């Protein structure tokens, strides 16, 4: 694995963990309406960003193995 791919995988993991944690925070009853909106929007954006970044890192890793 190249250094760049490893960094991308680490950043994707961090984004995914933070995004899922924000989405799981919605399960508590003491979340206001403003927090629900913000946690949903930011959590979904972070989680989807993590997925796209992990896919890109996997593709970059595969390309380096082929050449």
CB 39 within 8 A of CB 22: yes
pTM: 0.86
Query: pLDDT-derived band of residue 49, with 50, 70 and 90 as boundaries?
Result: very high
The DSSP 8-state label assigned to residue 26 in this structure reads: T
The stretch 13-31 carries a mean pLDDT of: 95
19, with CB counted inside 10 A (0-12, 13-18, 19+), is buried
50, with CB counted inside 10 A (0-12, 13-18, 19+), is buried
CB 23 within 8 A of CB 44: yes
């Amino acid at each position: 694995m190249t250094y760049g791919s490893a960094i991308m995988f680490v950043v994707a993991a961090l984004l995914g963990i933070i995004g899922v944690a924000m989405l799981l925070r919605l399960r508590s009853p003491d979340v206001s309406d403003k927090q629900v909106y913000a946690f949903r929007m930011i959590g979904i954006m972070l989680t989807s960003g993590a997925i796209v970044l992990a896919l890109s890192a996997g593709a970059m890793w595969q390309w380096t193995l082929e050449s």
